[in-house]
Amino acid sequence: MDAVVRFRAAVCLLGRFPALAGVDLDVAAGEIVLLQGPNGAGKTTLLRACAGLVPVTEGQAGVLGVDLVADRRPVRPLVGLLGHSTGLYDDLTVVENVRFWSRAGRSQRADADAALARLGLDGRLASVPVARLSAGQRRRTALAVLVARRPRLWLLDEPHAALDQDGRDLVDGLMVDAVAAGATVLFASHELDRAEAVAHRSVTVAGGTVNGLLAGAGQEVPVA
């Protein structure tokens, strides 16, 4: 299988601090890979590096065929990142936010409307300004933006956070659907029971280092 993510001895510096100090990671097309590890281990930085938001200063790093060391910008329109923040405009409504960002990602209005329906945001909530939403509803709206953009690589940082039981089930379903549609998912979570149930395999991030190579290329870490 083609590697969607391929990191070798990758180093990321945040200022002078090595947030990633040697990452070896392969993620094959169609995989759902869980990143686990303690707070401050480097999971968020790894996801941001995959999105081309953090520079890889040493080693090799490729995502969807883009060499992140040479130029990380071309990968950005190809990936979707759900981070700790939502990336939404407080004074725009749910539907306005989803339509704006999906249009900014060159998606069609129909994609935005379908995403709103998929996330259960096409009713009363659609016309509510984001500032008036609960944390979980904001999270759903951010997920709707992600779904509407239909990225080839989903990068999710604690995607279950702030969501109720239905929302968490919905996130798991979205990941499975994304992979069925040809995408790949890399996500970080502390909710291991739920996350391991949906992931194909898990990789541990510790002290800014990762050893997550596919079988045949090094050590594989199977899901328990």
Give the C-alpha distances (Å, rounded to integers) separating 185 from 21, 78, 124, 135, 209.
23, 13, 30, 23, 20
Q: By CB under 8 A, which span of 14-22, 23-31, 95-103, 170-178 interacts with another protein?
A: 95-103
Planar angle of CA 70, 71, 76, nearest 5 degrees: 145
Candidate residues 15, 16, 39, 84; the one interacting with another protein per rule CB under 8 A: 84
16 binds another protein (CB under 8 A): no
106 binds another protein (CB under 8 A): yes
Task: For residue 164, give every residue at least 6 positions away whose Cβ sits within 8 Å of its Cβ, in sequence order, or none.
Answer: 136
51 binds another protein (CB under 8 A): yes
Candidate residues 22, 77, 136, 207; the one interacting with another protein per rule CB under 8 A: 77
Report the nearest approach of another protein to the CB of residue 70 (Å): 15
Report the nearest approach of another protein to the CB of residue 202 (Å): 25
Task: For residue 145, give every residue at least 6 positions away whose Cβ sits within 8 Å of its Cβ, in sequence order, or none.
Answer: 87, 88, 97, 98, 101, 102, 115
96 binds another protein (CB under 8 A): yes
Q: Hey, is 91 helix, strand or coil?
A: coil
Alpha-carbon Rg for the chain in angstroms = 17
Q: By CB under 8 A, name the binding residues for another protein.
A: 51-53, 76-77, 79-81, 83-92, 96, 100-101, 103-106, 129, 145
